[in-house]
Structure formats: C-alpha cells, structure tokens
Structure 1
Amino acid sequence: MWTTTWRDETWSHLSDPWDVLIIGGGITGAGILREAVRLGLRALLVEQRDFAWGTSSRSSKLVHGGLRYLAQGHIGLTRASVRERKRLLAEGPGLIDPLGFLLATYKGDRPGRWTYKAGLSIYDLLALQWSHHYYSPQDFELLAPHLDRRGLKGGFRYGDAQTDDARLVLRVIREAVAAGGVALNYVAAEELLREGGRVAGARLVDRLQGRSAEVRAQVVINATGAWADRLRAQVGAPARIRPLRGSHLIFPAWRLPVAQALSFLHPQDRRPVFIFPWEGIALVGTTDLDHHAPLDDEPAIAPAEVSYLMAAVDSQFPSLSLGLDDIIATFAGVRPVIGTGRADPSKESRDHVVWEEEGLLTVTGGKLTTFRLIALDALRAARRHLPGMPRPSRRLPVLDRVDGPLPAAGLDEAQRRRLLGRYGAEAPALVAAAAPGELEAIAGTQTLWAELRWAARAEGVGHLDDLLLRRVRLGLLLEEGGRAILPQVRAVVQRELGWSDARWEEEEAAYLDLWRRAYYLPAGESIPDWHAAALAEAPRR
C-alpha cells in the first residue's frame, strides 16, 4: 500500500544503486518492472504523469489477437497475442474477461463469408481452440437485435477478451512493488546521464514537489511509448515513432444495447470498426489517424472522427436514431507505431521493437495483449549489461495467483470476482477499509464506493483525474464525468487524500475543465454531418 509518506520515503532512497531504471509507467514499463523484480533485479520505474496516463488508459480495452493483423499477414504477432490472451484469461478473471465477437456479413461485402471463415479458422488454430461459428441471417438477428437487416447474409461469432486497461497497469505495478520493486508517478526523466560514453542514469524531477535527484543504473530502459523519440534524441538517434490517434465514443447501454461485441466494415472506407459492451456502457471505436498535436497535451477526439464513428453506428443501427445528445463521453489515445512512410496509417505494423543506442535501451510499439512478451524481450536485451542476471522465462505467470475467498457480507459473486481481478491480493484490504454503505455500487456503474476510498488511501493519487479517469472509470461512465456525484465522492476521499477545501475546489474545477476538453464532444457546429455516409450504405445493401 502506498501510504501518505510513500513518496518521501522512496525519494530518500533514489541515490541507492539500481540495476534497472525504467522510464515510462504504461503497460510496457509496468511489465518490465514486474519481470525485472522476478529476476532479482533492483528496479525503479518513474512516470512523468500518472501511471497509465497515456495510451495504456485510452486503448480500445481489448485483449485480443487482432484479426486484422492476421489479414495483413502478421501471423507471428497474432499467434503470440492469442496465446497471451489465453494466459491472461486464466490468470486474471474479473480483470480480463471473455468477450464474444459478432462479425456481420452483408450482400456485396468484400471480404465475404468464405474469406472470413478461412481467417477465423486460422485465428482459432493459432489459439489452439475452436470458438467460431456461422449463423444464418435469422439467427444472427437474435444475437444482435436492432442491427440493420437490409442485405444481411448472416455472420460469425468468435471469442476474444476485454479488460480495464488502467486497472491492468495498476495491478501489474502493485504486484511488482509488493515483490520489491519501486515505482513513482509524477516523476520526469529530464536529462540522461552518461558515464564512459554510454547512458548510465537520469536526472529526475518530482513534478508534485519540485525536487530533483540524480539516479544511476546499470541499464536505462526507455518505455515511454509515443514519447520515445524525446529520450532517443538525447543520444543523437533519429526520430522513428509515428504517433497514431485512435478515438472512441461512449453511449449508455440502454440507447445502444449490445450484449456482445459487433465488428463490421465502415461504410466510407471499409475499415473494421466495433461496438461492444464495457463496464455497463457501449463503446464504439476506433479511428486510426496521424496525431499532430503536442504529445504532452491531453489527446481529444476531432470533429471529423465524431462524424466518422457516428456514420458507422448509424449504418448498422439506423432504427435507433442515435444522435450527439446520446453520447456520454469520448476518449482518444495515441499509439506508438514505428513509422515506415506508408500512406495509410492502418497499414503500419503493430509489432514492437527493441533498440540499443549508446546504452539507452528503447522498447516501443506492440500491443496491450503482449505486454509480458515485450517486457521479456527488453530484459533479454539488457542481460549483457547485467552480469549474473538469470535468463528471463515465459513459464512464470503474468499475474500473481490470488488464493482464497473474499469475505464480505452483501457482495455477490460477480462483485467478488471483479474486486479480486482488479485489486489482486489487495482486495481483502479494500473491503476491510470500506465504511458502512461503501460496498454498494455507485448508481449506473459496477464501481463500489469502497474503491474510491481505497484508491485515495493506497494507490498514489496525485490529482482528481487520476482517481476518476484511471483508478476508477467514473469519468467515462457517467454523464458530465460524474459531476452530479462529486459531493459524495468528496465526502469519501477528501480526508484520505489530505486535501484542504481550497485544494479540493481547485482539483474539481481542473477535472471538470479537462473532462470537457478531452473526454467529451467538440463543439457541435464543428462536427460534419454523417448521415450522408450512412444513407449511402443503404442502396449498396
């Protein structure tokens, strides 16, 4: 548990010798920290913002092999992904859960039924399973009510998985810390340090308290994702990252009722898009565009992306007459993709790379699903600088085993499973910390009030958006980012955080402003009309 004094206590030990300094607190850095600690290394992770602030809290929430990557010929990436998915499902129930995917086929679609069948057969064989099945139009309509029936020829159902990406990062980091690792958020690596012509550490700055320290390590790993070129520039390396933005819309489940995921081709460009249930809402995504805004700014959906995704929804569910007023929230994430100059961003490879440049080890690219394999590749590259380091192994579990039941009156089995998945070995302490009435769910969500108290007390919250957008996801699940319940949230967490009334009011104002700018819609008049694209699909069918 990170207590109120954990930052000061940790800072006092930064001058200690370290085997590995990991810069970046997303899923890649978290995975490297976890595996480094398992190997007996003295490992420190620092993140310039909050843990999972970047791509790792703004993904599409899918733990999957990536059927479209298979279509692009990335068989090795797909095989690794589906096998890691299987492990994560087995080791993290309640955090990584099965998700049925429906793939609709319409008259005139290219690719068509037999191409999809061949692809899904290979997909399942790579996963050593057989999950897909074809349904007639009549049966497919039962699986996806409200779906546009015009030209529907049927469709497939296959198995994948979903997660809460930010909670996955937190669980991996917390398990690494419990095993002896060290992690600090809001600590930036401002300058790399050199000794003997190679990178040997970094000058760190605490962005919450303004202090600085020099840290030295045998290996410095750059796991900053889309920001990787910044550190690489300090060793004279050329820029190679192509930041791509993926944006999403969130609807209430009652307005866009889907019991499982639905994948289909967009009417404009025939790209695969999806709609699926997540945390009691319906999530629509995603786009794939070059991101030109400054990386330190909160990424936000662009007006044209809203129109693009609304056209997709309208083409599949015209009878629901969905409009902008139905959207609860939006979010956008920036993917770190290795640029090769392809005109179509979607054609760029999603595989990861490991580069060593003057002692700086950079690992970037890749997928959420394969974070452990990425971590192991990074540590294999680091091994020649760490005499005596054991060989990394794929045989160890990704997540720690959680033994025993979760005793708590009033929790049903689904809530117990959810808490154990998201909080692992710390779930019993969370339940024990709950005040009367806090084991009840917040209206309209699956989140318990007790989760807010625990996050404020034990999970390194620096700002209110850390709490409401990453420790729990209320900012994505509730209208206006949960504005209506902020007085109740304050009553639960203010004392735990040690914030004065003035600090709370400042944080609340900053959070609501951030939510309006980056997690809601741009001005309505700036959003292009999408109905023409959706209507153009009807005659084709």
Structure 2
Amino acid sequence: MNSDWNAQWREQILPTLADEAWDLIVIGGGISGAGIVREAARRGWRCLLLEQRDFAWGTSSRSSKMVHGGLRYIAKGQWRLTRDSVRERQRLLDEAPGLVEPMSFMMPHYRGGFPGPRVMGGLLSVYDALAGRRSHQFHDAQQLRFLAPGVKENGLLGGSCFVDALTDDARLVMRVLREARADGAVVLNGVRVKHLLREGGRVCGVQVEDCEAGATMQLHAGVLAVATGAWAERLRPTEAPRQLRPLRGSHLLLPGWRLPVAQAFTFLHESDRRPVFVFPWEGATVVGTTDLDHRNDLDESAHISSAELDYLLTACQQQFPGAEVGVDDVLSTWSGVRPVVGRAAGAHQNKPSNETREHVLWQEPGCVTLAGGKLTTFRPQAIEVLKACAAMLGHSFVDDGAPVFAAVPPLMIPGLSMSQWRRLAGRHGRDLTRLAQLLAELGHETVGATDTLWAELAFACEAEMVVHLDDLLLRRTRLGLLLPRGGEHYLPAIRALCQPRLGWDDERWQEEVQRYRLLWQRDHGLPEATS
C-alpha cells in the first residue's frame, strides 16, 4: 500500500474503486469503523472504508479521552460491559504504550456524602476482580491534602484512588486505520454514502459521492458494515424502528498552569449528582463531561451551550474553590454526540446518564449496522460485526486474539528524550521510521509549549490524508485545542512548513484558514452568549 496517503493519492484511487470486487465496505471512519476494517484487512479481506467527512471527525475525536472500564456500570449491573472494558483497557495499555497511558483517578469523600469510602471500596474491589489485578487504595484526609493541593477541604474524609487510562482518541483512530492500510485496506475520507444499493432483497453496494469534486459512483460488495455512530439510523430501511438516542457530552480545556492536577479527579456534581472529571491531558487540564439529549441537527457539528459551560465551571468552583476558575480561563471547548441505544425508543423517559452503553447489531441481508458501544471496546465490537458479516458471506470467523497493533520498529532517534520517543512510538507505530527522517530534516522543536513536534505536522501533510486545514490542526494534531485561539499566532509558521507539502496555492490556503477560523469559533470557542 502506498505510504503517501494524501490528497494526491486520493485523486488517483477514487476512479478505480468501482472496478474492484470488494468483500467488505465499511461506512464510518471513527473508532468503530477503524476497528472493523483493521480486523478484516488482517484476515485478507478485500475491504474499503468510506468516511463522509474526516476520520474521527465526530465522537471519536470529541470523547472524554478515557480508555476505562466504566466503574459506574458495575452499580448499574452491566457486568459484561465492565469486564470486557477492563480487559480491553489492559490490552491497549500493553499494545500501545505512549498512546494509551495509565492514569491515577482520585475520588474524594466528604462527611455525609455518597458513595462513602466503604461503598466505593467495595465497588473498586469488584472492579479490580474483573480486571484481574488490584489497583485501588484509600488515602486519608491528611494524605489527600498532600496529593491534591487545592481540593475542597470542608468535611473531607479522604479519597479512593484507582487506575484507568487516557488516550488521544483521534490519534488512536489514525493508528488503527494505518494498521488496516498496511494490511491492504483502502481507506478514504470525504466520500459520502448517499444510499444503499439493493438487489433481490439484499444489500449489494452503495451509491457514493466525492464530497470534494462532486463525482458520484456505484460500488459493489459482498457485505456492508455500517459504523456511523449517532448517524447509524440514516441508512436503515424506513420501516425500521428508531432506537438511537443522541446524547451530548461537552468539555472545557484549561491551561495546565491555571488548574494544575497531577492525576484525574472524579466527583459528583452538586446540582444533579452526575460524575464529573478533572484530569491532565497533553499538558492542559480537561473538565468534563455533560450528558444531555442532543436535539440539534446531526449534520451540524456539536458545540457547547452556555448552560453546559456554566455547569462545568460550577464543578471547578465546587471541587477546587481556591482556583477561582472562570470563563476567561477557558482555552478551548469540544462536544461529542454519544450514539446511545435508548431503552424506550422515542420516549426518552430515562435520565441520559441511566442509559446503557451496551452496543447492539441491526442486520438485514447483506448489511450489518453497529449501534452504541464504547471507544474502549472497539476491538470486540469489531469482531462481533465481522462474525455477522462472515455468516452472510458463508464464511466462518474466529477471534484469534491477535494484536491490533504491529510492533514498533526498534529505532532510537538521537536527540529525543525517552518520553518523547514513547509518545511518538505510540502515535505513529510502524511509521516511526519515516517520521525519524523528517526529524533529521526539521529537528526536534515543538510547537509552542505543546508536546507536538513540527515534524509531526510535516508527516501528517505528506502521509495522513489531510484534505482540509482543520484535519491537520484538530485531529492529526491537537494544536487547535491546545494553543490559544486555535493556534492563530502560529498560522504563518504552519503555512511555511505545510502549504508546499499539501500542494495548496495561496488562494486555497486563505480559503482553508477562513474555513478553519469559522469552524473553530463555532465548535471549539465559547458560546456566543458568554464570549
């Protein structure tokens, strides 16, 4: 597979797609679709993945960044989901160090509060048992003041500490997709599936449109897998029941110095007793998340509301009163829409936080749709989808437990610290060799105070299918979230490095900058009422 996975390659491959006899077409370029195409390609299936916008554009770049077992699911009796999650969490920690990293979580306890230390300790014992290892402990109030300076002290009893994991969700998607490409999959963004093709009562292909050039074509396949998240019902038969309940989760990003935390904190919001998190990520501090019915048009990207902003700022003031965090401290925001399968379709009588995060499969001849699910369990979800697809093709399919990620080349790069090497190895995997060549050419300088190297921007432009500027700054890298005003100050330097590599003339660059500024303000700035 051509390593130059870029817009030029895209233009060359698009006209050839209709000539191929695909075993599998995967619709959706988030973590679910990436997992499906990766497992299929590894087994030699001739497979194609189509994403109408950009890889990880939706929920898979706008999650809470957690690879976790879901401690609260135990209390809801969702044992299988928790068991699968903690097992997959450990698998990802083992296979992708530097991309998925362990993180200590602390839940402070207060006099008269629930859950208290004993109840929480019992839940954590079950959590550890499902994971097969003990990772929790209790710290008394004196110890907690040392471990968490600035935490609310009134009535403090201590805190329960346990271990989960964090990731860069968009980079996780990209690494899974690159593994699929290395095994022969064709992976494209900017291609919209307009509708499914059916013959004799069976799905046999798709009618697609190139969102960049406008050309349309028909593609045929033995079976289709639909993994479009909150959009999963769009391609279903009109008579099928509507079961998805889109739920919005919004987050704030603060400069790390403004609310410095050495570990993640989880606590219950005083207004509704929902769990809220404050944790370090990429040198900054994340505050999240909300859980609300998303009633806006799904074709418009989600963004934080004024009420959600106030809710999350109140959470900061509740748990870290001395920090006095306010609106002016917010570096950026993001909102994602969770594809939750509602228990009572259409009724939505349950509170959003009470809905299950279990996934389901909807099947019709020639097509399997994945609905619901979690980022952490993308691999077993993919296996389940492919078992159903294989049955439609008359094949057997077995989960052989093979690694998702190929081994990283044992390459030492002069001038990099071990932590930098680990970070790059986790994000780029087998592509570390090519990245090392760019590091030799461009040096090891980072962009501002972030951990992102200028060489990573160059690599993304050359070999990570950047079609628009926001692809580069919001998903291939996270500079649009981590730098003030989305990195506005750095755009001239980014232009000098990236414009030649992207093959854009001056007019195209200016169009992309204008597009990016508008998109950033709408989706990642403050809501208009408070800006």
- TM-score over 0.5 for the pair: yes
Q: Which residue of 2 aligns with 1:537?
A: none
8 A Cα contact 2:222 2:366, kept in partner: no
Decide which of 94, 108, 121 is 2:112's aligned counterpart.
108
Q: Which residue of 2 aligns with 1:416?
A: 421
- Does residue 310 of the first structure (1) align with residue 313 of the second (2)? yes
| Aligned counterparts of 2:160 and 2:191: Cα–Cα separation in 1 | 47
- Does residue 477 of the first structure (1) align with residue 482 of the second (2)? yes
- Does residue 353 of the first structure (1) align with residue 360 of the second (2)? yes
Q: Which residue of 2 aligns with 1:284?
A: 287
TM superposition shift of 1:394: 4.5
8 A Cα contact 1:431 1:439, kept in partner: no
TM superposition shift of 1:392: 2.8
- Does residue 363 of the first structure (1) align with residue 370 of the second (2)? yes
- Does residue 320 of the first structure (1) align with residue 320 of the second (2)? no
- Does residue 261 of the first structure (1) align with residue 264 of the second (2)? yes
TM superposition shift of 1:70: 1.3
Q: Which residue of 1 aligns with 2:349?
A: 342
Per-residue Cα deviation, 1:113-136 (whole angstroms, up to 9, x for no partner): 111000000001100010000000
Q: Which residue of 2 aligns with 1:534?
A: none
Decide which of 393, 414, 424 is 2:399's aligned counterpart.
393
| Aligned counterparts of 2:443 and 2:75: Cα–Cα separation in 1 | 47
Equivalent positions of 1:365-514 (< 5 A) are 365-387=372-394, 389-405=395-411, 407-434=412-439, 436-514=441-519
| Aligned counterparts of 1:454 and 1:471: Cα–Cα separation in 2 | 10
TM superposition shift of 1:506: 0.9
SS of the counterpart of 1:156? strand
| Aligned counterparts of 2:21 and 2:108: Cα–Cα separation in 1 | 56
Decide which of 1, 5, 8 is 2:8's aligned counterpart.
5
8 A Cα contact 1:39 1:390, kept in partner: no
| Aligned counterparts of 1:492 and 1:504: Cα–Cα separation in 2 | 12
SS of the counterpart of 1:94? coil
When normalised by structure 2's length, the TM-score is 0.97
Percent of paired sites with the same residue: 52
One-letter amino acid matched to 1:93: P
One-letter amino acid matched to 1:384: A
Q: Which residue of 2 aligns with 1:166?
A: 170
One-letter amino acid matched to 1:396: A
Q: Which residue of 1 aligns with 2:185?
A: 181
TM superposition shift of 1:283: 0.3
Per-residue Cα deviation, 1:299-347 (whole angstroms, up to 9, x for no partner): 1001100011111110011111111000000000000000123330111
| Aligned counterparts of 1:350 and 1:343: Cα–Cα separation in 2 | 13
Alpha-carbon spacing, 1:4–1:520, altered in 2? closer, same or farther (3 Å): closer
| Aligned counterparts of 1:260 and 1:204: Cα–Cα separation in 2 | 45
SS of the counterpart of 1:70? helix
TM superposition shift of 1:435: 6.4
| Aligned counterparts of 2:202 and 2:240: Cα–Cα separation in 1 | 13
- Please, which runs of 5 or more residues in structure 2 have no aligned partner? none
Deviates more, 1:87-96 or 1:33-42: 33-42
Alpha-carbon spacing, 1:433–1:306, altered in 2? closer, same or farther (3 Å): same
Equivalent positions of 1:42-53 (< 5 A) are 42-53=46-57
8 A Cα contact 2:365 2:392, kept in partner: no
Per-residue Cα deviation, 1:137-164 (whole angstroms, up to 9, x for no partner): 0101111111111111001111100000
TM superposition shift of 1:238: 2.2
SS of the counterpart of 2:45? coil
Per-residue Cα deviation, 1:62-119 (whole angstroms, up to 9, x for no partner): 0000111112111110000000000100000010001000111111111211110000
Q: Which residue of 2 aligns with 1:294?
A: 297
One-letter amino acid matched to 1:10: I
Per-residue Cα deviation, 1:339-389 (whole angstroms, up to 9, x for no partner): 1233301111101111102432100211100000000000111111223x4
Q: Which residue of 2 aligns with 1:87?
A: 91
Equivalent positions of 1:530-541 (< 5 A) are none
Per-residue Cα deviation, 1:156-205 (whole angstroms, up to 9, x for no partner): 11110000000000000011001101110000100110111111100111
| Aligned counterparts of 2:529 and 2:327: Cα–Cα separation in 1 | 8
| Aligned counterparts of 1:434 and 1:404: Cα–Cα separation in 2 | 16
Deviates more, 1:44-53 or 1:237-246: 237-246
Equivalent positions of 1:136-151 (< 5 A) are 136-151=140-155
| Aligned counterparts of 1:272 and 1:435: Cα–Cα separation in 2 | 45
- Please, which runs of 5 or more residues in structure 1 have no aligned partner? 527-541
Per-residue Cα deviation, 1:203-231 (whole angstroms, up to 9, x for no partner): 11110111111111111111111001110
| Aligned counterparts of 2:519 and 2:7: Cα–Cα separation in 1 | 26
One-letter amino acid matched to 1:254: W
One-letter amino acid matched to 1:490: R
RMSD over equivalenced CA pairs, Å: 1.2
SS of the counterpart of 1:462? coil
| Aligned counterparts of 2:352 and 2:391: Cα–Cα separation in 1 | 35
